[in-house]
């Protein structure tokens, strides 16, 4: 039947992708690069969060940082990174809704011989599809912005279930969103993913950014140990 055939092909694609991801992840580990996948809806604040986080990571001993900026089209985000002096490569998926290993490998190759202590993949703005695809990273985080609403945890469970941390962004909007129920969000996310780490931040005001940066540094050390 059509559905069975599609499911079988999808499983083949995901299995092949996971094998490539394991090889890529091991190669980054061997060279001392900690790589993190950053996911979330369009406009959740991924680029702004990364700019703030990278500033924190560089402030201690000037860590070498690179960013792969994935988008369906355009180079808007890569240009923002370049303007901040961050090495970046634009990965245009040409309207594909997620990032797969073939794309990651090509984007990484575009850095040439440059090596990083931290390499970030800013994934496609999509709260659904990227959760399914291993991108060869050591750690995955997702952003949920306050204006999106806390109930997204009920409506888009797969991504909450697969990430290492949930970063609640744009917390400076909380006073305008009195119905944003942080406790309900933490509780529901904890049911989907008992080990999930939760951060409440505002990249604009800087709130919570030190704690997030400390956690990222710790994850690098633990991963490369």
Contact residues for its own copies (CB under 8 A)? 2, 5-6, 9, 13, 41-43, 71-74, 76-77, 95, 97, 124-129, 145, 147-149, 151-152, 154-158, 170, 173, 176
Of 154 and 206, which CB lies nearer to its own copies in the complex structure?
Answer: 154
- The CB-of-73 to its own copies minimum distance in angstroms stands at 5
Q: 169 exposed, middle or buried (CB, 10 Å; 0-12, 13-18, 19+)?
A: buried
Strand, coil or helix: what is 39? strand
- The CB-of-14 to its own copies minimum distance in angstroms stands at 13
Of 97 and 214, which CB lies nearer to its own copies in the complex structure?
Answer: 97
- The CB-of-45 to its own copies minimum distance in angstroms stands at 9
Q: 59 exposed, middle or buried (CB, 10 Å; 0-12, 13-18, 19+)?
A: exposed
Of 59 and 74, which CB lies nearer to its own copies in the complex structure?
Answer: 74
- The CB-of-133 to its own copies minimum distance in angstroms stands at 12
| DSSP string for 86-151 | -EEEEEE-TT-SS--HHHHHHHHHTTTT---SEEEEEEEE-SSGGGG---S-SEEEEEEEGGG-TT
Of 117 and 200, which CB lies nearer to its own copies in the complex structure?
Answer: 200
């Amino acid at each position: 039947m059509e559905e069975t055939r599609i499911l079988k092909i999808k499983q083949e694609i995901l299995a092949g992708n996971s094998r490539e991801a394991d090889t890529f992840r091991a190669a980054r580990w061997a060279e001392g690069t900690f790589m993190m996948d950053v996911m979330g809806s369009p406009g959740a604040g991924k680029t702004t969060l990364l700019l703030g986080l990278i500033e924190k990571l560089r402030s201690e001993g000037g860590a070498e940082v690179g960013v792969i900026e994935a988008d369906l089209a355009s180079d808007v985000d890569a240009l923002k990174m370049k303007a901040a002096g961050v090495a970046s490569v634009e990965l245009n998926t040409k309207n594909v809704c997620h990032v797969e290993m073939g794309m990651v490998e090509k984007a990484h190759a575009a850095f040439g011989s440059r090596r990083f202590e931290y390499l970030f993949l800013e994934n496609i703005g999509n709260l659904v599809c990227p959760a399914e695809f291993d991108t060869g990273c050591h750690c995955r985080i997702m952003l949920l912005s306050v204006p999106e609403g806390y109930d997204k945890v009920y409506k888009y469970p797969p991504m909450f279930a697969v990430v290492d941390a949930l970063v609640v962004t744009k917390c400076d909007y909380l006073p305008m969103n009195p119905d944003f129920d942080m406790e309900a969000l933490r509780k529901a996310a904890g049911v989907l993913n008992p080990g999930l780490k939760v951060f409440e931040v505002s990249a604009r005001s800087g709130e919570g950014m030190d704690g997030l940066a400390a956690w990222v540094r710790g994850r690098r050390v633990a991963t490369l140990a």
